[in-house]
Amino acid sequence: MTMNIPLRREDVSDMTGVRTSPGAVSKGATRVEIGLSAAIVSVCRDEPMIMCVPTNVDGALVDVLPSGPFSPTEHRTLDTGLRTWVAEQTDLDLGYVEQLYTFGDRGRHAQPFDQTPHTVSIGYLALTRQPLESDDAQDGAVWKSWYDFFPWEDWRQGKPALLTDEIEPRLNEWCERVDTEINPYRTSSRKQRVRVAFGIDGGAWDEERVLDRYELLYEAGLIEEARRDGREAALTWGPVPRFGTAMQFDHRRILATGIGRLRGKLKYRPVVFEMMRDEFTLFELQKTVEAILGPHLHKQNFRRLVESAGLVEPTGDVRAKTGGRPAKLYRFRREVLLERPAPGVRVKPGRA
């Protein structure tokens, strides 16, 4: 966990031993560009969707997240910068927005390694209501299922065969492979990381570890982006297996971060409602949660939970044509945000 960095001793201390402005950032430091990207999530017909702007790169269409550079002269804050770019590229006026992470690794952004100026990439998660069918393809932006990019995360039908048949064997091979390389003692580390992230032998699948899994697949060279970035591990696999659709730059990494964060946050903050229409049935709510989290929830317990937590209140209306008895309609009780410290749909997997 610890890392040793060669020290550069060039600090300016005065005679008293008190440093003069160690935090002053202004003496000729390198400047970098900042990229802002948004993983915009919605759920449409029980499918978690993310907003993409397919873009022509060298003649091929590549999926890109709505994004653009931060311009301190034009954007008052990072947040407004992001909203501006998203509005331009997708015509969406974002509501809920949350910063995810700032990535700064060299070589994970530009295609030609280190050819462009260094970019630091700030990823955001945004949630929107279910898009109407009509305004589906506005301005070149499209909604895509997030499982297009992460098929191994789709446990709605149980464990995906892709994991057992394709991914796990290759990851195991990659774990063994270290022996022949430089650090034999790191084998166990790789093995353990894979074990924890993918819940291999004994471990449970933790639906929140989306980024861990993506990063391991990247490191193992099993992801198109790894080959694109010139990762050596990627060259050892012959024809690269394409697990999921690739994205430009580090956008799939940002998306992985967003999915993981959303899956976690759902459990302790009432963020699902950012993706629901004003009125909904409890089953629709459950389906939305399940689209994001994966496993099936126990229906009766789910409604007990949601109702007893005071997250919703009935509107008085009902929705007919459900295929059975009509369902009561509910709305989100915004007041809970003021009442309890951390209300959320704290769910655990159950049976149907």
Residues 285-344 that bind DNA (CB under 7 A): 298-301, 303-305, 318, 320-328
Helix boundaries (H) for 178-222 = 187-198, 210-219
Q: Nearest approach, Cβ of 324 to a second copy (angstroms)?
A: 35
Contact flag: residue 15 with a second copy (CB under 8 A) = no
Q: Which of 45, 46, 116, 189 binds a second copy (CB under 8 A)?
A: 116
Q: Nearest approach, Cβ of 336 to DNA (angstroms)?
A: 15
- Pairing outcome for strands 60-62 and 55-57: antiparallel
Q: Nearest approach, Cβ of 241 to a second copy (angstroms)?
A: 25
Which are the contacts of 1, defined by CB distance < 8 A and separation ≥ 6? none
Interface mask (CB under 8 A) for a second copy, residues 125-144, using x and -?
A: --------------xx----
Name the β-bridge partners of 280. 330
Residues 195-254 that bind a second copy (CB under 8 A): 195-196, 203-204, 206, 208-209, 248-249, 251
Q: Which is nearer to a second copy, 53 or 220 (CB)?
A: 53
Using DSSP's 3-state secondary structure scheme, residue 115 falls into: coil
Q: Which is nearer to a second copy, 120 or 287 (CB)?
A: 120
Residue 50's nearest CA partner among 160, 156, 152, 124 is 124
Q: Which is nearer to a second copy, 84 or 145 (CB)?
A: 84
Q: Which does 334 bind (CB under 5 to 8 A by kind): a second copy, DNA, none?
A: none
Stretch of 77-85, 147-155, 218-226, 291-299 contacting a second copy, by CB under 8 A: 77-85
User: What do you get for the CA distance between the two ends of the chain, in Å?
Assistant: 41
Q: Torsions phi, psi of 240, nearest 5?
A: -60, 125
**In whole angstroms, what is the distance from residue 34 CA to residue 104 CA?**
10
Q: What angle do CA 63, 69, 74 make, to 5 degrees?
A: 140
Residues 30-69 that bind a second copy (CB under 8 A): 30-35, 37, 53-57, 61, 64-69
Residues 139, 67, 114, 177, CA torsion sign = negative
Q: Nearest approach, Cβ of 211 to a second copy (angstroms)?
A: 12
Write the single-letter amino acid at 268: Y
